[in-house]
Structure formats: C-alpha cells, structure tokens
Amino acid sequence: MVRILLIFIWFITISTSIAQIDTTATDSVPKAAVDSSEIAQNNFQKKLENLERQRLIDSIKKAELEERIKDLKNSDPTEKNKLQEQINALNANETQRLEQKKKEIEALRKSTKGHPVFGFFDDTLFNIYTKLGSFSAKERADAVTRRINKLPENLAFTTDSLLINTAENASDIVYGEHIIMSVSQNDALWENTTTEALAVSYRDAIATSVTNYREETNIWTLAKEIGLALLVLVAIWFLIKYIIRFFRWSAKKIEQQEDKRIKGVKLKDYTLFDAKRQVTALLLVNKVFKWFVILLAIYIALPILFGIFPWTRNFADTLFGYVLNPVKSILLSIWNYLPNLITIIVIVLVFRYVLKGLRFLSMEIMRGNLKINGFYPDWARPTYQIVRVLVIAFMIVSIWGYIPGSDSPIFQGISVFLGFLFTFGSAGSLSNIIAGLVLTYMRLFKIGDRVKIGEVFGDVIEKSSLVTRVRTPKNEIISIPNSTVMSSHTINYSSDAPEKGLIIHTTVTIGYDVPWKKMHAALIEAAKRTELVVENPEPFVLQTSLEDFYVAYQINAYIKEANKQATIYSNLHQNIQDVCNEQGIEILSPHYRAARDGNMSTIPENYLPKDYKAPSFNVKQQKE
C-alpha cells in the first residue's frame, strides 16, 4: 500500500513538470537553440536525475521502515531503535543530497543566464534558470509568459483566484483548473529559499502585473494618457517655436554689432577675419546651435511622450539609453582608469624633475661653473639632448602599459607600422643625425669658426642635428649635410688662432739682381705695417724656390683674427707694393734672352778646325 502511494506521488510530480508546457497547438513551443550554458545544464540535469532517483528509493525505504516501526509498537525496543537509526541515516542522506545540489547550483550560477518571464508590456517579472523534466529554462519561461498573457481575458479574474498547491517537492501556481507554473525544489535552491516561499513571490508578481495591466488599459486611463500626450505635444510645439524666435533675435543682434563690437580677428598684422566674415561665421554658429537645441529638445520630449503609454515605455528607455549608456560607459571607464592615470601623472612628474636636474647640470657645465676632467663645455648641450631622449624613451616605456588599449592588437600593429615607416623612411636623416653627434664629440669646429670643408670656405653659423651651415666671405650661406662633412676633409683656421696664432702667407717672385737680404727686410717691414698682424712672434721670410730667372720669397705673419683673413691679405699686398716701391725694388719675374755662338760650348774642341774663330754679329742700321 505504501509503495503504491509513493509511486502515485512520483507520478503526480512528473505530471506537474509536464504541465509546464501546454499540449495544445497554440501553446506548443519549438526547441530553442542550444546556448553556451546548455551543456552545463544537461550535465547538471543528469546529476539531478540521479539524485532524484536515489531520493525516491530512499523515500520508499523510509516509508517501509516507518510502517515497520508502527507494527512493532512497544513489543521490541531494540529492533525499533535499529529501524530508527536507519531512518536517521536516510534523513542524513537527504540532507547531504540537498547540500550537493546547492554546490552544483552555486558552480552553475556563474555561467548560467536566466531566461525572463515577461509581463504585458515587455517588463520582466522574474527569471527562470533551471530545466524541469525534458523542458529547458527558456521553454519554461516562454510557456509561463503565454499563460500569464491569457489571464486578463477572463473577466472574472481576481488576485485571490491565483492559488498555490504544494506537493512533496514542488509548488504549483494554479488558476482554476490550469497550472500557470510549477516551482521545483531546484528553482527554490537557485534562489536560496523554499519552494512555497518562491511560489508565493512569483504569484504576487503575476497578480500585480495583471492588475496593473487592467488599470492601465481601461478607457479612463487611456483617455488621461491621450490628453497628457496632447499636452506634451503642445508644450513641445511652443518650446520649439520660442527656441526659433530666440535664435532669430540673437542673429539680428549679431548683425547689428558689425563694425561695433565685432571688428574682426587679427593676428599681429594679419587680418584673419574682417568684421563681415566674422559676422558670417557667428551667424553660422548661431544656426548650427539653434538646430542642436531644437533636436535636443525633441530628443528629451520624445521619451516623455513615449513614457505616457505603457506599450511605448520601452522606446523611452531605449532613447534615453542611447545617450545615458554611452555617457555612463565613458564615466565608468574614466573612473576605472583613474588609478592608471594617477600612476602616469606620478611617473611624468618624477621624470620631469629628473630632466630639470640634468638640465641644471648641463647649464652649469656650459657656463664653466662645473668642470669635469675630459669633458668639454661644448659637449654639455648635445649630451643633455641625448640623455633627454633616452630619459623620455624610458618614461614612455614605463607608462606604456598604463595607456588604454596598449594591449590591443590594433594598437600594437599601428605602433609597429609607424616604427617601420620611421626606420626606413628616415635612413638618410638618421645617418646625418649620427654624423652630427660624432662631429660634436670630435670638436672639429664650433659656431663662428672660419673653416674650409671640402671646397667650401667660410664661417660656421649653425650646427644642427642634420646640417652644418657656412657663410662664405661673399655672404653666401651654404648648407652641408653632416654625413658629407664627415666624409670630407675639414680645415679649421680659428681653433688655435687666439692662443698660438694663425700664420698667413703670400709669395713674391723677384729677380736675382735684388739681394735677398734686402728683399727679406722689405717683406718683413710690409708685414709689420699690416693691421691685425701681431708683433710677437715676428714675421719671417722663407725662400721657397730658386727658379731660372727669379727667386720665390714667402712672407709669413701671425694673426689672431682668423675670420678677417681676406682684409688682412689685401692690406699685406698693398704694404708689400708700397715698401718695394720705397726701396726701388721692381716686383718682376724677369726672363733673359742671349744671342751667342754656342759651338765652343756644345761641340767638343777636337771636332772644330784649328783655325776656327767665333763669328761676329752684324748689325744693320736703316735710315728712314
């Protein structure tokens, strides 16, 4: 008898789970597509079926034990205690099964999404998470939604007509002879409550939804909503009308201020906007701002209008969501990014003060206040620039991980692409930059030095990372790439001139008839008369060659002003002419011609006749 009763209870439980899905053609629901949590749900369901099967076996066994205890009465206390211990063990197994179900549900909760049961205006009443029998959570939710939507069709419906029937492991929400929903033990475990309490909360949500639907769809409510909607439309019309009037008034004010307050925009001597153009630009801004305000007013009014009717309230939420969701997302992103932003600010401040300290040291070295053996003051600035680049690069590396999106493949791909372009697109520039650094540390020349680079002669006026610029004595500015400077020979006339002096020299050729001592004295005197030639060391003369008809004399003199060589050379040449003229020295390179008999010198004596005499010269004179 007990076994028959338990089998009947088990049959009722299964039949109530089948009642979740209507058997009529209109209530049939196709199988939903398997979502990402379906596999986990299936595994969970298998475990629940095993636990349920064991529970039924234990229930039957427990019922048999209880019947045996009743039959024993007080005749055999020892046997009764044994039977009670077996019943307690079965109760402990039941408790253990419940705990196991809770653990399984807790693990499944992280990966399972609920399927909503909707009310009459697409509002969510509650969510269903678990399967029941062969029906998925989504199929259960869809079936319950359809049954709820049919409730207002019955005019006799009242909230008290929704009843709850509680069985052993399930509670049914019933209206008349129809089961609206069955709440299983798994549903209750998922919500951390009992089946009866969960069924009560679901029943109240359904009853409230039906009541609100009836109230919001009766004729008086609809009349009020229509009237309120008309009032909102009138308010929108007046609002847009006065917005347009306001911007028309502001446009007239702008036009009236031409050449008064609106006088144009000037950047130093350049007129960016005259008054007329500025008025045109302001009118355009006024027009754009007018349409922006009108569209904003409509955008704000539409959700209010949609929110009046229950069928369109979702549109209101959607419209507000288009603005509020991005703003919320932006603000939330900024809030979440604040720790990284503060970290970046701290890193930038630390490196900023490090650079300030390095710049202070470089300035002290440049001014000569701080001296380091083997480190020249003119190295301070380029060294600081190199160290500055390295410090900034290290700072960028430090903050790179805190930049939003730095881990994204797109961000990394763009970085690699830009690096590729920079590397291969600036190969020539990089060679010039490296050559500029090498030139700096080689100390070949500095700004203001008189140099000769290849065939270019003049004063250095600029040294940059890429080029060196030279001004020639003819005031021509020539730009030479640093790589070209590195591959050319360079003569620096100014490096030792202030201390050791620069020797200027020029050569004069004089015939052998002028004594060399006299010529030496004349040239030295001319050098001493020349302005900017220093007296100590004294000028000196070198005889550089003895030619066929003349001697080459080279006058050498020391100067300190290497940049004034052209003027000094010109003055020296003038003084040489003056001194030579004063001393009667002709600045000539004479060539001599002689007519003679060369036989005696070119033909051996034994080849000539014994009575040979050199012939005489005949000179004829002709009178005109």
- State both tokens at 167: 């069985």
Shortest CA distance to 494 belongs to which of 527, 465, 458, 466?
458
| Pair 533, 557: CB distance under 8 Å | yes
How far is it, in rounded angstroms, from Cα 60 to Cα 66? 10
How far is it, in rounded angstroms, from Cα 65 to Cα 56? 14
pLDDT over threshold 60, residue 2: no
Per-residue confidence (pLDDT) for residue 528, from 0 to 100: 94
Per-residue confidence (pLDDT) for residue 23, from 0 to 100: 36
Residues 235-289: tens digit of each pLDDT: 999 999 999 999 999 999 888 888 888 877 777 777 777 888 888 888 999 999 9
Domain boundary among 387, 420, 453: 420
Domain count of the fold of the chain: 5
Q: Can you tell me whether residue 456 is helix, strand or coil?
A: strand
- Provide the CA 237 distance to its chain's centre, in angstroms: 46
Per-residue confidence (pLDDT) for residue 242, from 0 to 100: 93
Does 414 lie in the same domain as 321? Answer: yes
Per-residue confidence (pLDDT) for residue 420, from 0 to 100: 61
pLDDT over threshold 50, residue 98: yes
pLDDT over threshold 50, residue 18: no
Per-residue confidence (pLDDT) for residue 51, from 0 to 100: 61
Query: 226 falls in which pLDDT band (50, 70, 90)?
Result: confident
User: 546 φ, ψ to 5°?
Assistant: -115, 105
Looking at residues 184-201, what average pLDDT do you find? 82
| Pair 359, 384: CB distance under 8 Å | yes
Domain boundary among 295, 321, 354: 295
Looking at residues 157-165, what average pLDDT do you find? 80
**Average predicted confidence (pLDDT) for the chain:** 79
Does 324 lie in the same domain as 415? Answer: yes
Does 488 lie in the same domain as 506? Answer: no
Per-residue confidence (pLDDT) for residue 429, from 0 to 100: 66
Residues 574-583: tens digit of each pLDDT: 999 999 999 9
Residue 31 located in a structural domain? no
* Greatest mean pLDDT range, 2-11, 94-103, 491-500: 491-500
Looking at residues 36-54, what average pLDDT do you find? 60
User: What proportion of the chain, given as a percentage, has pLDDT over 70?
Assistant: 79
Per-residue confidence (pLDDT) for residue 45, from 0 to 100: 60
Does 361 lie in the same domain as 267? Answer: no
Does 331 lie in the same domain as 405? Answer: yes
Which residue is it, tokens 């089946």?
Answer: 195
Which residue is it, tokens 């076994």?
Answer: 3
pLDDT over threshold 50, residue 41: yes
Residue 560 located in a structural domain? yes
pTM here is: 0.44
Q: Flag the least confident range among 19-28, 156-165, 372-381, 536-545.
A: 19-28
For residue 384, what are the domain limits? 311-420
Residue 136 located in a structural domain? no
Per-residue confidence (pLDDT) for residue 107, from 0 to 100: 66
Looking at residues 363-392, what average pLDDT do you find? 83
Question: How many CA atoms does the CB half-sphere of 122 hold within 13 Å?
Answer: 10
Residues 409-456: tens digit of each pLDDT: 776 677 776 666 656 555 566 676 777 777 777 778 888 899 999 889
Residue 568 located in a structural domain? yes
User: Which CA distances in Å does 295 have to 240, 292, 323?
Assistant: 9, 5, 13
Residue 156 located in a structural domain? no
* Greatest mean pLDDT range, 292-301, 373-382, 596-605: 292-301
Per-residue confidence (pLDDT) for residue 8, from 0 to 100: 37
User: Which CA distances in Å does 508 have to 303, 479, 541, 568, 592?
Assistant: 104, 36, 11, 16, 19
Per-residue confidence (pLDDT) for residue 1, from 0 to 100: 40
Higher pLDDT, 441 or 467: 467
* Greatest mean pLDDT range, 1-5, 25-29, 127-131, 540-544: 540-544
Looking at residues 297-306, what average pLDDT do you find? 82
Q: Output 495-501 pairs: Cβ under 8 A, ≥24 positions apart.
A: 495/445, 495/449, 497/559, 497/560, 497/561, 497/562, 498/560, 501/534, 501/537, 501/558, 501/559, 501/560
| Pair 101, 128: CB distance under 8 Å | no
Looking at residues 162-191, what average pLDDT do you find? 81
Residue 20 located in a structural domain? no
Per-residue confidence (pLDDT) for residue 246, from 0 to 100: 94
pLDDT over threshold 50, residue 5: no
User: Which CA distances in Å does 377 have to 363, 449, 459, 542?
Assistant: 9, 16, 21, 39
- State both tokens at 389: 């680049």
- State both tokens at 32: 């939903």
Looking at residues 523-527, what average pLDDT do you find? 95
Residue 7 located in a structural domain? no
Does 269 lie in the same domain as 320? Answer: no
Does 519 lie in the same domain as 461? Answer: no
How far is it, in rounded angstroms, from Cα 327 to Cα 334? 10
User: What proportion of the chain, given as a percentage, has pLDDT over 90?
Assistant: 24
Per-residue confidence (pLDDT) for residue 624, from 0 to 100: 63
Domain boundary among 112, 142, 157: 112
Higher pLDDT, 310 or 611: 611
pLDDT over threshold 60, residue 11: no
Question: How many CA atoms does the CB half-sphere of 236 hold within 13 Å?
Answer: 18
Looking at residues 456-482, what average pLDDT do you find? 90
Query: Residue 546 is part of a domain; what is its CATH number?
Result: 3.30.70.100
| Pair 173, 202: CB distance under 8 Å | yes
Does 503 lie in the same domain as 487? Answer: no
